[in-house]
Amino acid sequence: MKHLVSKFFIYGLSTVFVLTIIFSVNSIVNPVRAQNNKELADEDITVAVKNELKYDDGVQAHLIDVETHDGIVTLSGSVANILAKDRAEKLVGAIKGVKSIVNNIEVKSVNRTDEQIQRDVENALLRNPVTETYEVEVEVEDNKVILTGEVGSRAEKTLTEKVAKGIKGIQKFENNIDVEYEGDRTDSEITEEIKRKLESSVWIDDALIEVNTLNGRVTLSGTVGSALEKSRVYNAAWVAGVKSVNDDNLEIEWWAHDNMRRQSKYAEKTDKEVKKAVKDAFIWDPRIVSFGIEVEADNGEVILKGVVDNYEAKRVAEEDAKNTIGVVDVENHLKVRPTIVITDEEITQKIKNALLVDPVLEQFDFNVNTINNKVYLYGRVNSLYEKNRAEDVASRQIGVVDVENKVRVDYDWERKADAAIKNDVEDQLFWSFAVDDDEIEVEVDNGIVILGGKVDTKREENLAVKNAFDGGAKKVRNNLDVKYDYDWIEEGREYEWLDYQPYRYWPYYPW
């Protein structure tokens, strides 16, 4: 049985190594955790990958096969939609020891005509408050979507693909959109902007990364801690003016992550530095760049003010701020004031239509009610991944100013022995490239996991709590000390699956 709290991370980082047969497995797993060399065995990586996929509701991996050779993971088999295929690749990329992924998964989606898919993709792009202005053409051949046209940035191209993939029936996808930047930029300007993006991201340790630009062509070299981190660095390098990005010399070494952690990355930032970093993040995000959001910072706490014209922009602004180094917490005072007049009945119908064509949610029955542009969602789903997906779909519709998600999730805690939970939690902490398991202590008492020790950041703390739930915790008592959150920490907090609310988004994934 899946553990419900793991589903809070749609776009979230998940590293699962759940083994429920206690004593027979200890002799296999513990030597892996204890090994001092810099190579992880392929068979151990394969087991970690299988369990990562098995316990994630966004993948439904019962027909996925996994093989690993020299750290290169090959995925084969089939899934029900293209979002699950993409999600599987990104989840595997976050597992310690994975150097690259060969994704041969086939998509066996519901049977739909090309005409139906094309109509729904075009409508999805038109309904989205950002992509509605893009000059993009959609073609569908044998359930393969092909996008062409022109946009102004790599982020806009990625956003267009994300919106288009949220339609059921798509089996293959080809994004041929051209990116045309306005104006010329010097190599030094490009290099400095890329460095700023890497330095400000909570998802990237930039200490061992080198950036060089020659005639608009970017070369990345150095070391990162995971395949997913390498992908993030690659995407971050596509700033305005870049003609190409070469990351062939960016090596993946799982052991490097801890070495890259350093006080200068997480040390307290001045309010001026935090404010600038958050504003930069807004400039790089096409969903909010046009709104001129006001940013204030006070001892690491960011306050957002201003007006946006859609509810997704308000949510995205808060998440972008949270993903910025130096930000401890965010107060979101943004007002949503739609520029297009639309009735509550029209909003309700648009959301119902979007839920019906969503590849993840089309199997469920939802009730949607809109009162004065505020949406209320009702229904029953199998996981929090699906509950949060429903809120995401509703939030993207034009005219929505707020969403109250009252969708219920069916959940039963799977009982198992404390020794098994402890072993599985420790394994998950080990396989997570984003958590330093050497500094975390785990105790279990009647299904309650007690976490002690130290982590570097609030984000690492949340991931550790999530790993504990993935390992089988009924409840988590969090006594972790966050080194660089400026004493903004309440010790002894308890997180239950119903109350624990980690972040919803993952930048460009599939998040």
Q: How far apart are CA 267 and CA 265, in angstroms?
A: 6
SS3 243: coil
Residue 115 has pLDDT above 60, yes or no: yes
pLDDT-derived band at 471, boundaries 50, 70, 90? confident
pLDDT-derived band at 501, boundaries 50, 70, 90? very low
Give pLDDT tens digits for 127-181.
Answer: 899 999 999 999 999 999 999 999 999 999 999 999 999 999 999 999 999 999 8
Task: Write down the mean pLDDT value for the chain.
Answer: 85
**Better-predicted residue by pLDDT, 491 or 204:** 204
pLDDT-derived band at 203, boundaries 50, 70, 90? confident
**89 contacts: CB under 8 Å, gap ≥ 6:** 75, 101, 103
**Mean pLDDT score, 306-328:** 93
CA 309 to each of CA 35, 94, 317, 338, 354: distance values in angstroms, whole numbers, following the listed order: 53, 34, 12, 4, 20
Q: How far apart are CA 21 and CA 464, in angstroms?
A: 22
Question: What is the maximum alpha-carbon separation in the chain?
Answer: 64
Give pLDDT tens digits for 267-296.
Answer: 678 999 999 999 999 999 999 999 999 999
Residues above pLDDT 70, as percent of the chain: 85
- Give the dihedral sign, CA 454/456/458/464: negative
> What pLDDT is recorded for position 485?
52
CA 164 to each of CA 172, 348, 382: distance values in angstroms, whole numbers, following the listed order: 12, 21, 24
> What pLDDT is recorded for position 16?
37
Which region among 197-211, 358-372, 454-468 has the lowest average model confidence (pLDDT)? 454-468
pTM higher than 0.75 for the full model?
Answer: yes
SS3 37: coil
Spell out a b/e string for 385-414, using b for 16 or more CB atoms within 10 Å of the CB, else e. Answer: bbbbbbbbbbbbbbbbbebebebebebeee
Q: What is the distance in angstroms between the CA of the first residue and the CA of the last residue of the chain? A: 23
- Concatenating the DSSP letter of every residue in 102-129 gives EE-PEE------HHHHHHHHHHHHHHST
Q: How far apart are CA 324 and CA 200, in angstroms?
A: 5
Residue 350 has pLDDT above 90, yes or no: yes
Q: How far apart are CA 329 and CA 322, in angstroms?
A: 7
Q: How far apart are CA 188 and CA 211, in angstroms?
A: 10
Residue 210 has pLDDT above 60, yes or no: yes
pLDDT-derived band at 458, boundaries 50, 70, 90? confident
Q: How far apart are CA 385 and CA 360, in angstroms?
A: 9
Dihedral, CA of residue 282, residue 284, residue 289 and residue 293, to nearest 10: 10
CA triple 457-461-464, angle to 5 deg: 140
Q: How far apart are CA 71 and CA 107, in angstroms?
A: 25
Of 288, 285, 319, 284, the C-alpha closest to 302 is 319
Give pLDDT tens digits for 44-93.
Answer: 999 999 988 987 888 989 999 999 999 999 999 999 999 999 999 999 99
> What pLDDT is recorded for position 257?
60
